[in-house]
DNA sequence: CTCATCTCAGGGCGACTGAGATAT
DNA sequence: CATATCTCAGTCTCCCTGAGATGA
């Protein structure tokens, strides 16, 4: 029967004050929102990441794609397979270095990226709905620093 | 052979400017750091969460623990099993409501929580190493708002 | 009958590891 | 020889669902 009022199952103070917990909880929410939004159009997070990299940097090997997007080599293989099947990218062996595959964005893939841009813009607004402009900027700035610093070990 | 200079595999702009991507990337790093630190002393993230809730709110049913810590009912069962086995909590049927189990923190469990507090404090410093005090406060504040707003739908 | 709770079994995804084949 | 790439197979953790049993 609970209390009459004033105890809407708050979270433990320890967790609320632990940055790593705040980050992973937020990530779970972000993950769900993005997954649902992309899933509704038949895409996944990794699809968007690879298409973004190809659009910005041009044809790229799979290993390089993995480095740029922080995606594991195994997952790059699987994701490229999916994107090839959907005709959004093409895979070709590099004649100058036959170890590697060069992945190229198709015109279809460019359009796809633009579509996903719109889907994601909506999702970001949903995710940050309660935050002021200042809070949004602070968040992006702080997490950017965190990633920069951590990636340089 | 790459360029002579100035191209240390940067990330795509689109990703760097997408809050959900920044959050999930940071979460992956946080997850790894916390997992390794807790794993080194035989603990898991869920262990710390449940112990925190029990310390702050006293004996609690499993369903309530799940609500307070945002842990799924199935995972609460598994985690309580582990904590019972390690003698950090005790499980007893509520005589007033025989549907539910009341979980109680043992003296051992209290000590364990203090130990984990120290482990986690170190980890938070590692995680936020490159950030100024202002950035850290901004981050905690922004993510707190995000979680508050999202949890109220 | 309905609702809440506890429990188990298992699916799905993301992050990751190991090993083999091939080429530099 | 060592190194780098691509690929497959498979593990592990977390998040979540479904369903059954019990009791309010």
Q: What is the pLDDT of residues A4-54, one digit of tens each?
A: 344 567 899 999 999 999 999 999 999 999 999 999 999 999 999 999 999
B144 burial class (0-12, 13-18, 19+ CB within 10 angstroms)? Answer: middle
Give the residue with minimal CA–C1' separation from C14.
A75
Determine the distance from the C-alpha atom of residue B34 to the mean position of all C-alpha atoms in its chain, rounded to a whole number. 8
Adjacent-strand bridge partners of A101: A93
pLDDT of residue A10: 86
Å: B153 CA to C19 C1': 47
pLDDT of residue A3: 34
Query: Does residue B74 surpass a pLDDT of 80?
Result: yes
Q: What is the DSSP letter of A6?
A: S
pLDDT of residue B8: 67
Q: B9 in contact with A at a CB cutoff of 8 Å?
A: yes
**Sorting pLDDT into bands at 50, 70 and 90, what band is B4?**
very low
pLDDT of residue A6: 43
Dihedral of the alpha carbons of A129, A135, A137, A142, in degrees to the nearest 10: -120
**Sorting pLDDT into bands at 50, 70 and 90, what band is A153?**
confident
Å: B6 CA to C12 C1': 40
Collapse the DSSP code of B44 into the 3-class scheme (helix H, G, I; strand E, B; otherwise coil) and give the result. coil
Dihedral of the alpha carbons of A13, A16, A18, A20, in degrees to the nearest 10: 150
Q: A3 in contact with B at a CB cutoff of 8 Å?
A: no
Which two three-digit tokens encode residue A103?
A: 């992945």
Q: Kindly list the residues from chain B whose CB atom is less than 8 angstroms away from the CB atom of residue A130.
A: 145-146, 148-150
Q: B143 in contact with A at a CB cutoff of 8 Å?
A: yes
Smallest CA–CA distance, residue A45 to chain B, in Å, is: 9
pTM of the model: 0.93
Per-residue pLDDT tens over the stretch A104-118: 999 999 999 999 999
Task: Please state, in angstroms and rounded to a whole number, the distance separating the CA atoms of residues B138 and B2.
Answer: 38
Nearest nucleotide from residue B73 CA, by C1' atom: C6
Smallest CA–CA distance, residue B85 to chain A, in Å, is: 23
Query: Does residue A1 surpass a pLDDT of 80?
Result: no
Task: Please state, in angstroms and rounded to a whole number, the distance separating the CA atoms of residues B124 and B22.
Answer: 18
pLDDT of residue A7: 52
Per the prediction, chain A carries an average pLDDT of: 93
- Distance (Å) of CA B15 to CA A34, A69, A72: 13, 8, 16
Q: Name the nearest CA neighbour of A30 among A152, A125, A101.
A: A125
**φ/ψ of residue B93, rounded to 5:** -75, 135
Please give the average per-residue pLDDT across B4-23, as a whole number. Answer: 84
Q: Which nucleotides of C are covered by protein (CB under 7 A)?
A: 4-10, 13-18, 22-24
Query: Does residue B153 surpass a pLDDT of 90?
Result: no
Query: Does residue B3 surpass a pLDDT of 60?
Result: no
Cβ–Cβ < 8 Å for A48, A120: yes
Query: Does residue A75 surpass a pLDDT of 60?
Result: yes
Cβ–Cβ < 8 Å for A30, A126: no
- Distance (Å) of CA A76 to CA A68, A72, B120: 11, 6, 33
Per-residue pLDDT tens over the stretch B88-117: 999 999 998 999 999 999 999 999 999 999
Collapse the DSSP code of B86 into the 3-class scheme (helix H, G, I; strand E, B; otherwise coil) and give the result. coil
Cβ–Cβ < 8 Å for B68, A9: yes
């Amino acid at each position: 029967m609970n209390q009459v009022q004033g105890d809407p199952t708050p979270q433990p103070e320890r967790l609320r004050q632990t940055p790593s917990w705040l980050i992973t909880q937020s990530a779970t929410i972000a993950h769900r929102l993005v997954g649902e939004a992309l899933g509704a159009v038949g895409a996944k997070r990794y699809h968007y990441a690879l298409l973004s990299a190809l659009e910005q940097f041009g044809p790229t090997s799979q290993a390089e794609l993995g480095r740029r997007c922080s995606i594991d080599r195994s997952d790059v293989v699987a994701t490229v397979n999916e994107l090839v099947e959907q005709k959004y990218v093409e895979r070709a062996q590099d004649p100058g270095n036959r170890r590697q595959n060069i992945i190229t964005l198709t015109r279809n893939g460019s359009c796809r990226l633009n579509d996903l841009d719109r889907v994601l813009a909506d999702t970001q607004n949903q995710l940050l709905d309660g935050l002021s402009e200042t809070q949004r900027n602070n968040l992006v700035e702080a997490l950017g620093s965190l990633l920069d610093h951590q990636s340089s070990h």
